[in-house]
Structure 1
Amino acid sequence: MAETHQPAPSLYEAREPIFPRRVSGKFRNLKWWLMGLMLAIYYITPWIRWDRGPELPDQAVLLDIANRRFFFFFIEIWPHEFYFVAGLLVMAGLGLFLFTSALGRVWCGYACPQTVWTDLFILVERWIEGDRNARLRLHRQKKMDARKLRLRLTKWAAWLLIALATGGAWIFYFTDAPTLMVDLVTGNAHPVAYTTMLVLTATTFAFGGFAREQICIYACPWPRIQAAMMDEDTLTVGYRDWRGEPRGKHRKGAGAENLGDCIDCRACVNVCPVGIDIRDGQQMACITCALCIDACDDVMEKIDKPRGLIDYLALSDETRERAGEPPRPVWKHVFRPRVILYTALWSLVGVGLLVALVLRPDVEMTVAPVRNPTFVVLSDGSIRNTYDVRLRNKHGEDRPYALSIADNDGLAIALEGEDDLIVDVPANETYLQRVYVTAPSGSPAAQGGLTGFELRLEDTTTGHSATKDTVFNGRDN
């Protein structure tokens, strides 16, 4: 008898695309406003002009990677000030901890780029193909007829334009936007610009159009971290099963009085962008977008039941609510030790950055003594030391700077290549100047070991000055 070989069962279930239903309500409206605001900031910011002098692009926000400088309106961050960027990254991390501890994954649900662009792509898809039922019918239609092909091509073309604008907007942050736009259109832009734009266009098209919730569930590490940030007092989207269960569709007749408020309409599931059922409890895939709250509240109003069957709630209030008592005030959930600690740390880092920004000097220099040789004996017996001094001009025009010795103990200063003690430093540059300091023969500095002194730098335009402590190497050193 011939054996029949059955194919091995698959260990993985094929992904079923999710088609969220349109919903309206306060949380959906909030997401629309935030999406519009964040998209506007992203696309418009590179085009905001800001006078930065003749040597730099007049761009308000500019990440000048080539020269290792960041510009944000009136703030200019130089390479040696990278601690500002590090501080902002620390604040961003603490901010995520803070908001997650207080309100769950609100970042994921409202402000994450994956969420924002996925919302935008779903909106376009709904405009072209219709709401959930229409999109489901089109998806389940096996035959690729003219109508389905037309709708698919129209949708993909719209997605591609959005993705292209997204990739294009990103590269505008790294150079002068109007100039780059002309170069892109005329084919004169650097290949790196085209490559970056192509990669970002492709990833935006794939992530926002096709991967969608798969990025949130499988690619993003944040769902796995959030559990450590949340506790039973965290306000997050949840289902009041003690009020909704047992669920049932019939509201009249025998036994109806034993049913909960949930009529098992699945409205909360149909509007969920990640396709979960919030009634199953807290889940890693939930991004706390609260669209299920809007959908459930709408159903509760239609059947004359109180809103809030699905709501922002804390698990610690379950016992109180089961007993018929009201939940604790929101502020008691928000203002608890963990949240206060995160807020204090976040504020401390922010205040520290502001103080550092206000106190940073306008005039800066670094002094490095030349060690080979440590000193030179001149023909008249005097001792000369050599120093490499880096002068930093943060202004948009050339500036003359004067070098001198603050506490002159018989030391004389001279500049290599200059007849006087004035150095012209180009705009927005760091200039290396070699400086010679000489001690007369027989002076304490010449005969001694190490003699400390201050080198002084003055901006002759503004009168601002800076000093640096260094040492003079004498004959006995």
Structure 2
Amino acid sequence: MPLAEPTDSVAAAAPRPTPPGRAKKFGAAATRKAIPAETGSLYAARRKIQPQAVRGTFRTIKWILLAVTLSVYYLVPFLRWQRGPGEPSQAVLLDLDRGRFYFFSIELWPQDVTYVMGLLILAAFILFLMNAVAGRVWCGYLCPQTVWTDLFLAVERLVEGDRRERLKLDAAPWSIEKLALRTMKHAIWLLIAWWTGGAWVLYFADAPTLVTRLATFQAPAVAYVAILTLTATTYLLAGHMREQVCTYMCPWPRIQGSLTDEHSLNILYRDDRGEPRVSAKRTALLRAAGQPAGDCVDCFACVTACPAGIDIRDGLQMDCIQCGLCVDACDTVMGKLGRPKSLIGYDTEANRRSRAAGGPPVSRILRARTVLYGILVATVGGIMLYGLATRSFVSLSVLHDRQPLFVTLSDGSVRNGYTVRLINKRPGERRFALAVEGLPESRVEVVGGTPEDMPVPSDSTQEFRVLVFAPADTRPDRSVPLTFRITDPATGETAHAQDTFKAP
């Protein structure tokens, strides 16, 4: 694990030196971040972290969000949405064969890639806003790595027991019982990972149909490859790598420092109240003698509960995902001792400094960067909603012939050829009328049809060969711009495209 790296806004909360005997008292987890002074190494040897189960407000929030997010992921492919005859009935579907993305009543074509870009930009601004307000709240509660790691840890506790039992099992020699427990745990992990990969491919084809084809080994080979790949990555990342993904593979811990300031909420230790640390038995004696004694009893409950294995009392660190489990662990201990809670909790560096100086509480959720991010989120979201509400369901593109650019006929008139592509984004066949503007007294012909009746099948595109003639007496002596306009007489919906008419 890397050395704890406080962000610029929390530089004052530098790590405290490890007290003598602390490593001996706490064991491997207390020394996992120790750095040999003689080598100056930035990394320590990898040690397996066995978090302690805790109960409390933040753990309850994490369970609720875990249940909601996993339910959405696993069940959404099976939701139905009727779109009409010949259209897919899956509510959320990325149809690669037809080049469509369906989201309930919304249907996006490849030409609508701007909406995908807008959604990515909106997600980035929302993430920036969340970080400016409450630090790495995304990492601690909603990140897929966190959600699936929590699920895998729950399975591990169910099979092997809580932290003490798992540590004993790790240290115990191999036996039939240990082999059975490990086999059961990894089998459940693989089952969850397999269904995670299976649920992913269901977003790309009709879910009930694909499930049947997968079960009867009639699905495409790419589906099996995708499931095996996602099974392996989920099993490795959530079951074995866990916090290493957040520390080494994810760039967000290194980026979030530039988005956080002294008014951002983060999980912080109230050292003004907790120091100096003494045992619960000595606290009353020291306070009776007029000597300082903090509320922290150095029980390491916050460390054993941390899925990253860090000590939050050493200050804000890059490894911390702000999940709040250390808060629940500490509040439980404080409650048993009859002391005020929130010795560890969400706080700001500005409020911490003000409190240390004897000043009033400081809280500035609304400030320049949060207002800016909020405006950006509202602007991008508003533009996307307006675009979706007003977008056209018909489109037109025109391609001029390259060879020849024009043809001079025997009567002196000039002919230009075009390939016109019409796009019908609605269910049901539509018939369009074509008009060409910009060339007086011109004549339009549609090969194999008429300009007044150009049929386009349901939810598809159709190409037409269009010829435009300029009479000899009014033909231009240079290229002139043309406007091709199509109209749906049934709905009045129109679309247009620009091109040019070439002349000698």
- What TM bracket, shorter-length normalisation? over 0.9
Over residues 351-388 of structure 1, what are the superposed CA-to-partner deviations in whole Å (9 max), with x where a residue is unaligned?
11112222221221012222322211223322111111
Deviates more, 1:188-197 or 1:294-303: 294-303
Aligned residue type for 1:274? A
Q: Is the partner of 1:127 in helix, strand or coil?
A: helix
Given that residues 414 and 421 in structure 1 are in contact (C-alpha distance below 8 angstroms), is that contact kept between their aligned partners in structure 2? no
Deviates more, 1:223-232 or 1:424-433: 424-433
Structure 2: how far apart are the matches of 1:447 and 1:148? 90
Deviates more, 1:144-153 or 1:283-292: 144-153
Map residues 40-55 of structure 1 onto 2, 5 A cutoff.
40-55=71-86
Q: TM-score, normalised by structure 2?
A: 0.87
- Distance apart, 1:33 and its partner CA: 0.7
Which residue matches 1:131? 162
Given that residues 283 and 293 in structure 2 are in contact (C-alpha distance below 8 angstroms), is that contact kept between their aligned partners in structure 1? no
Map residues 102-117 of structure 1 onto 2, 5 A cutoff.
102-117=133-148
Given that residues 386 and 434 in structure 1 are in contact (C-alpha distance below 8 angstroms), is that contact kept between their aligned partners in structure 2? yes
Which residue matches 2:331? 297
- The yes-or-no answer on 1:146 pairing with 2:180 is no
Which residue matches 2:488? 459
- Distance apart, 1:231 and its partner CA: 1.3
Q: Is the partner of 1:248 in helix, strand or coil?
A: coil
Given that residues 388 and 432 in structure 1 are in contact (C-alpha distance below 8 angstroms), is that contact kept between their aligned partners in structure 2? yes
Which residue matches 2:497? 468
- The yes-or-no answer on 1:184 pairing with 2:214 is yes
Q: Is the partner of 1:82 in helix, strand or coil?
A: helix
Over residues 61-103 of structure 1, what are the superposed CA-to-partner deviations in whole Å (9 max), with x where a residue is unaligned?
1112233322111111111210110111111111111111110
Which residue matches 2:277? 247
Which residue matches 2:59? 28
Aligned residue type for 1:315? E
- Distance apart, 1:135 and its partner CA: 1.1
Map residues 281-296 of structure 1 onto 2, 5 A cutoff.
281-296=315-330
| Equivalent residues, number | 460
- Percent identity over the alignment? 47
Structure 1: how far apart are the matches of 2:224 and 2:249? 26
- The yes-or-no answer on 1:222 pairing with 2:252 is yes
Given that residues 266 and 348 in structure 2 are in contact (C-alpha distance below 8 angstroms), is that contact kept between their aligned partners in structure 1? yes
Map residues 195-344 of structure 1 onto 2, 5 A cutoff.
195-249=225-279, 250-252=281-283, 254-256=285-287, 257-329=291-363, 332=364, 334-344=365-375
Q: Any stretches of 5+ residues in structure 2 without a counterpart?
A: 1-38
Structure 1: how far apart are the matches of 2:350 and 2:59? 27
Structure 1: how far apart are the matches of 2:305 and 2:490? 64
Q: Any stretches of 5+ residues in structure 1 without a counterpart?
A: 1-8
Structure 2: how far apart are the matches of 1:140 and 1:219? 29
Deviates more, 1:31-40 or 1:431-440: 431-440
- The yes-or-no answer on 1:167 pairing with 2:197 is yes
- Distance apart, 1:405 and its partner CA: 2.8
- Distance apart, 1:285 and its partner CA: 0.3
Q: Is the partner of 2:487 in helix, strand or coil?
A: strand
- Distance apart, 1:253 and its partner CA: 5.5
Which residue matches 2:388? 357
Structure 1: how far apart are the matches of 2:276 and 2:86? 71
CA RMSD of aligned residues (A): 1.8
Structure 1: how far apart are the matches of 2:465 and 2:283? 94
Aligned residue type for 2:90? Q
Structure 1: how far apart are the matches of 2:384 and 2:349? 37
Structure 2: how far apart are the matches of 1:94 and 1:136? 42
- The yes-or-no answer on 1:437 pairing with 2:471 is no
Q: TM-score, normalised by structure 1?
A: 0.92
- Distance apart, 1:41 and its partner CA: 0.7
Structure 2: how far apart are the matches of 1:231 and 1:172? 42
- Distance apart, 1:460 and its partner CA: 3.8
